[in-house]
């Protein structure tokens, strides 16, 4: 899937923050551009005050890296940038270096559609530090947004309980890129279709849509508009009934439904886009059933999200198709995931790994060191179904035993013993690039959606709660926790000694 090449004709190497390039220049001038390093991309808190996050965006990352190069136009632009003294910001020799740069990185990542949690590396990048650094901003841009939208969609999917979910947020999304990426991520997160035709073409997402209020208003009366639409689109007839009077609109839809039935066609649904959705859906269901349209769907829209859907369900609303727009594609109640990209290891002059850590007065901002992997352990429930029981972050260069103690990185009093013998487990970070060459075959988008649904099915109910969800156990393997603690103490002692 060549996403970027279909949307853009120019290079995307400059899709980055300037400080990535100035650091790259610094590494190059310091003679350490080729020094091997490890960076981790992770987030610190589940979005929407939830108990889980759905990973999304890896295909975009793969496409970006596969097409990464500095074009002549890129380098020409960089040559015009000036420093504070008016001199060229980057030397000609460095620009020549960039012109010949080929990525040689080893990259591992968690599959899209997988449930992930705070502090777990979604992507691990290993290789020359200059190359690692250049990927920071684009990777964060891609993963932050698509993971946020996929998670929002998954929360909606959970409360919809099998009902169809139509994503139609194109007109409210943040630009062309936002609309297309949102449609993709929303589908992976559990939506059934999109109104975005370009996203349908690019990704193979089912598209859906019928008519808006303007269609009704373009005719002399509502019934005439419904009849005209049914004649034009007899096999795609969902009628929007709330332009003037919702109850009257339902009566008009029923009349058109009888007209369609005589022609061997079906009234697929009625859509309610305003007012008391619970009340009107109950009235619509009663009226449709009495008229013999028991299989006609009731579609609801109007700034819906998982909380409103949950509320409507408690009111016995008779809605079975949900149209979701603004609050999904804009992640209305949390506009950013907040993922970060941190250095965790670097090789010294003796070709030995030195583990790195960033200190902070805020414990949540102290990153985890090492070359990390995530091992997910599974148990089985009373029905024999697989259930994730805990995730363990461990250093790949540190030998493991059969019995593990994991420690919450934010609360050392929260510990869990895992007797690994006989337990099913999976290491979540999978090879994506080796030496800059892609080694991963991306599943199609329908398989990714299936993975999300499987992830959600396996999750304990408490983790999926909208309010005060259970905290899924994620911890550092005991040796990694000790390594982190020792590094913190060492760095703090050094700082104290230097004062």
Q: Is the Cβ–Cβ distance between 259 and 223 less than 8 Å?
A: no
Q: What is the pLDDT of residues 423-481, one digit of tens each?
A: 899 999 999 999 999 999 999 999 999 999 999 999 999 999 999 999 999 999 999 99
pLDDT at 10: 66
Q: What is the pLDDT of residues 328-361, one digit of tens each?
A: 999 999 999 999 999 999 999 999 999 999 988 8
pLDDT at 361: 82
The model's pTM: 0.95
Q: Is residue 274 part of a domain?
A: yes
Q: Provide mean pLDDT across the span 124-135.
A: 98
Answer yes or no: is pLDDT of 492 > 70. yes
Q: Is residue 287 part of a domain?
A: yes
Q: Provide mean pLDDT across the span 31-44.
A: 98
pLDDT at 392: 97
Reported confidence tier of residue 497, pLDDT bands at 50, 70, 90? low
Answer yes or no: is pLDDT of 6 > 80. no
Q: Is the Cβ–Cβ distance between 16 and 313 less than 8 Å?
A: no
Other Cβ atoms less than 10 A from the Cβ of 10: the count is: 11
Domain that holds residue 238: 160-329
Q: Is residue 23 part of a domain?
A: no
Q: What is the pLDDT of residues 99-111, one digit of tens each?
A: 999 999 999 999 9
CA dihedral 307, 309, 314, 316 (to 10 degrees): 170
What value does the mean pLDDT of the chain take?
Answer: 94
Q: Which residues contact 305 (CB under 8 A, 6 or more apart)?
A: 152, 156, 324, 327, 328, 332, 333
Answer yes or no: is pLDDT of 3 > 60. no
Q: Is residue 296 part of a domain?
A: yes
Locate 30 and state its tokens. 């310091």
Q: Provide mean pLDDT across the span 166-193.
A: 97
Reported confidence tier of residue 4, pLDDT bands at 50, 70, 90? low
Helix (H) or strand (E) holding 256: helix 246-262
Q: Which residues contact 476 (CB under 8 A, 6 or more apart)?
A: 368, 392, 393, 394, 406, 407, 409, 484
Q: Is residue 152 part of a domain?
A: no
Locate 54 and state its tokens. 């759905």
Answer yes or no: is pLDDT of 2 > 60. no
- Pairing of the two strands 297-300 and 269-272: parallel
User: Distance between CA atoms of 463 and 474, rounded to whole angstroms?
Assistant: 13
Please state, for a pLDDT cut of 70, what percent of the chain lies above it: 97
Q: What is the pLDDT of residues 238-282, one digit of tens each?
A: 999 999 999 999 999 999 999 999 999 999 999 999 999 999 999
Answer yes or no: is pLDDT of 224 > 70. yes
Reported confidence tier of residue 200, pLDDT bands at 50, 70, 90? very high
CATH number, residue 198: 3.20.20.70
Q: Provide mean pLDDT across the span 172-185.
A: 96
User: Distance between CA atoms of 166 and 190, rounded to whole angstroms?
Assistant: 10
Answer yes or no: is pLDDT of 422 > 90. no
pLDDT at 92: 98
Q: Is residue 453 part of a domain?
A: no
The count of domains in the chain is: 1
User: Distance between CA atoms of 491 and 294, rounded to whole angstroms?
Assistant: 69
User: Distance between CA atoms of 340 and 140, rounded to whole angstroms?
Assistant: 7
Q: Is residue 325 part of a domain?
A: yes
pLDDT at 382: 81
Q: What is the pLDDT of residues 210-219, one digit of tens each?
A: 999 999 999 9
Answer yes or no: is pLDDT of 495 > 70. no
Other Cβ atoms less than 10 A from the Cβ of 398: the count is: 12
Q: What is the pLDDT of residues 52-79, one digit of tens each?
A: 999 999 999 999 999 999 999 999 999 9
User: Distance between CA atoms of 32 and 22, rounded to whole angstroms?
Assistant: 14
Q: Provide mean pLDDT across the span 366-387.
A: 91
pLDDT at 419: 84
pLDDT at 7: 55
Reported confidence tier of residue 189, pLDDT bands at 50, 70, 90? very high
pLDDT at 412: 85
pLDDT at 360: 84
Answer yes or no: is pLDDT of 170 > 60. yes
Q: Is residue 232 part of a domain?
A: yes
User: Distance between CA atoms of 432 and 65, rounded to whole angstroms?
Assistant: 11
Please state, for a pLDDT cut of 90, what percent of the chain lies above it: 89
pLDDT at 384: 80
């Amino acid at each position: 899937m060549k996403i970027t090449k279909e949307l853009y004709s120019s290079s995307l190497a400059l899709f980055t923050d300037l400080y990535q390039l100035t650091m790259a220049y610094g590494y190059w001038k310091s003679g350490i551009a080729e020094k091997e390093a490890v960076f981790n991309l992770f987030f610190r808190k589940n979005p929407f005050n939830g108990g889980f996050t759905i990973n999304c965006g890896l295909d975009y990352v793969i496409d970006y890296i596969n097409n990464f190069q500095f074009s002549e136009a890129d380098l020409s632009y960089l040559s015009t940038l000036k420093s504070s003294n008016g001199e060229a910001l980057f030397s000609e020799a460095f620009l020549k270096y960039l012109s010949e740069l080929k990525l040689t990185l080893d990259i591992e990542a968690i599959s899209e559609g997988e449930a992930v949690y705070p502090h777990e590396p979604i992507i691990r990048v290993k290789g020359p530090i200059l190359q690692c650094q250049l990927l920071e901003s684009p990777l964060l841009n891609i993963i932050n947004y698509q993971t946020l939208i996929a998670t929002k969609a998954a929360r909606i999917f959970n409360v919809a309980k099998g009902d169809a979910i139509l994503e139609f947020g194109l007109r409210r999304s943040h630009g062309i890129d936002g609309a297309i990426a949102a449609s993709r991520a929303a589908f992976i997160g559990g939506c059934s279709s999109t109104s975005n035709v370009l996203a349908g073409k690019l990704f193979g997402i089912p598209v859906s849509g019928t008519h808006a209020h303007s269609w009704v208003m373009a005719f002399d009366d509502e019934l005439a508009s419904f009849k005209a639409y049914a004649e034009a689109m007899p096999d795609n007839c969902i009628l929007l009934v709330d332009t003037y009077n919702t109850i009257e609109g339902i009566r008009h839809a029923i009349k058109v439904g009888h007209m369609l039935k005589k022609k061997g066609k079906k009234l697929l649904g009625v859509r309610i886009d305003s007012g008391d959705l619970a009340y009107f859906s109950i009235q619509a269901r009663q009226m449709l059933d009495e008229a013999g349209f028991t299989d006609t769907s009731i579609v609801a829209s109007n700034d819906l999200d998982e909380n409103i859907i949950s509320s409507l369900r408690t009111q016995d609303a008779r809605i079975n198709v949900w149209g979701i727009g603004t609050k999904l594609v804009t992640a209305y109640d949390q506009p950013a995931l907040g993922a970060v990209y941190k250095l965790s290891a670097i090789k010294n002059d003796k070709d030995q790994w030195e583990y790195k850590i960033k200190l902070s007065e805020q414990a949540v901002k102290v990153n985890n060191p090492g070359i990390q992997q995530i091992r997910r352990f599974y148990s089985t429930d009373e029905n024999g179904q697989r259930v994730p029981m805990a995730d363990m972050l461990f250093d790949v260069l540190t030998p493991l035993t059969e019995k593990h103690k994991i420690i919450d990185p934010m609360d050392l009093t929260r510990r869990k013993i895992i007797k690994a013998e006989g337990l099913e487990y999976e290491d979540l970070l999978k090879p994506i690039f080796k030496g800059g060459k892609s080694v991963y075959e991306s599943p199609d988008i329908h398989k990714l959606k299936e993975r999300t649904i499987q992830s959600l099915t396996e999750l304990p109910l408490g983790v999926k709660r909208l309010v005060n969800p259970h905290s899924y156990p994620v911890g550092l393997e005991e040796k990694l926790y000790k390594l982190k603690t020792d590094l913190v103490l060492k760095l703090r002692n050094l700082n104290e000694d230097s004062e």
